[in-house]
């Protein structure tokens, strides 16, 4: 599992995930993701176009980060999950907890419209 972090306009962070968010991938990523993303006070886009699979433990990682960011006044959204990953997230009701976008500009606009 690989994590690439970049800073976007208006202080928004983008975290690109690459690989499988199964038990092995989540364990490889857990501490780094929690430190670099979960401690953020900025809005975060988690770009998932290269995540091939997500298990419940991977969903837990995302929910934990989203809650931590929310407590600090930020917001986490998911961008461009692959169809099978999106289906798993929606089946679990994830889209009711964390917004999911397929369009980058819409995702950015949603984060910019959030009150500071």
Confidence at residue 25, expressed as pLDDT on a 0 to 100 scale: 95
pLDDT of the residue at 89: 96
Residue 115 confidence (pLDDT)? 52
Shortest CA distance to 85 belongs to which of 6, 14, 17, 13? 17
User: Is 65 within 8 Å of 96 (Cβ atoms)?
Assistant: no
CATH number for the domain running over 2-112: 3.30.750.24
**What are the backbone angles phi and psi of residue 112, rounded to the nearest 5°?**
-70, -25
- Domains of the chain, by residue range, sit at 2-112
Q: Which pLDDT score is estimated for 116?
A: 46
| pLDDT mean by block of 10 residues, the chain; 116 residues | 91 95 94 86 94 96 92 94 97 93 93 67
- Would you state the pLDDT for residue 99? 96
């Amino acid at each position: 599992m690989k994590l690439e972090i970049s800073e976007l306009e208006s202080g928004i962070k983008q975290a690109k995930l690459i690989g499988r968010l199964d038990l092995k991938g989540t364990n490889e990523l857990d501490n780094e993701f929690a430190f670099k993303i979960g401690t953020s006070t900025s809005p975060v886009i988690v770009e998932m176009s290269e995540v091939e699979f997500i298990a419940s433990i991977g969903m837990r990682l995302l929910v934990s980060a989203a809650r931590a960011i929310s407590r600090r006044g930020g917001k986490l959204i998911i961008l461009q999950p692959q169809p099978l990953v999106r289906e798993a997230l929606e089946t679990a009701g994830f889209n009711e907890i964390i917004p999911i976008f397929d369009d980058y500009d819409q995702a950015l606009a949603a984060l910019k419209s959030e009150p500071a």
